Amino acid sequence: MSHLAGTTAVITGADEGLGYAIADAFAVAGADLVLLAHDGDKLERARHTLAGHGTTVRGLRVDLAHPGAATAAARRVLALTERVDTLVNNAGTAHFSPLAQTSADSFDAMLHLNVRVPFLLAQALLPALIEGRGSIINISSYWAHTASADRPSAAYSATRGAINAMTRALANELGPSGVRVGGIAPGAVPHEVAAAAAFLASPRAGWTTGTIMKLDGADADGALAVR
């Protein structure tokens, strides 16, 4: 398949796990890639392996948890490529703790990486996305719409609910500019999530925007089959 041939995707947290799986799906579909990650060794291994699909793969080592890093990273991206067709905001962090034991620093760290960084990257790359009539894909979590007494998640769930709300609001705001915005709320990190991201970035999803795709393995009764 080459339905993303000729496009360029910027993917955060792309050196391992779900981010790498998404990058792999995009490369298989023909997209050139700019990978953002904070571990230089893992990033280079990912870049080298993904380049084996025959597309151009560039890597930028950046710790998006640092203040100012997102805007600086966007400038570096635009110095590497003249076009950005897709931004995948995958990098994030999670700390699970009861309300009484959740520190302000922990909450702020999650709010920054899970919400503020996607906002700043989308803002900085917006002119390129508008020019290419591209798409933004925000990776959320099923913790935005579920809860477990065994794993308190108030702070983390709040950040994931925020990225979902921002996804819908940006879809409404940017639609007239031709930029589509969607989200994926996975329960685990299956290959189905990577395939869904590649679909949302493709012309086949040309009429899909403002949607949060729930890929949480829910059974017919709504109980989570994947945790």
Catalytic residues: 156
As a whole number of angstroms, the distance between CA 117 and CA 79 comes to 19
Strand partners, 36: 12, 60
As a whole number of angstroms, the distance between CA 211 and CA 222 comes to 19
Contact 135, 118 (CB under 8 A): no
Alpha-carbon torsion angle 24, 29, 32, 37, nearest 10: -20
Contact 57, 26 (CB under 8 A): no
Alpha-carbon torsion angle 23, 57, 9, 128, nearest 10: 160
The alpha carbon dihedral of 58, 59, 64, 68 has a sign of negative
Question: Where would I find the H helices in the chain?
Answer: 17-28, 40-50, 69-80, 104-111, 117-131, 154-174, 191-201
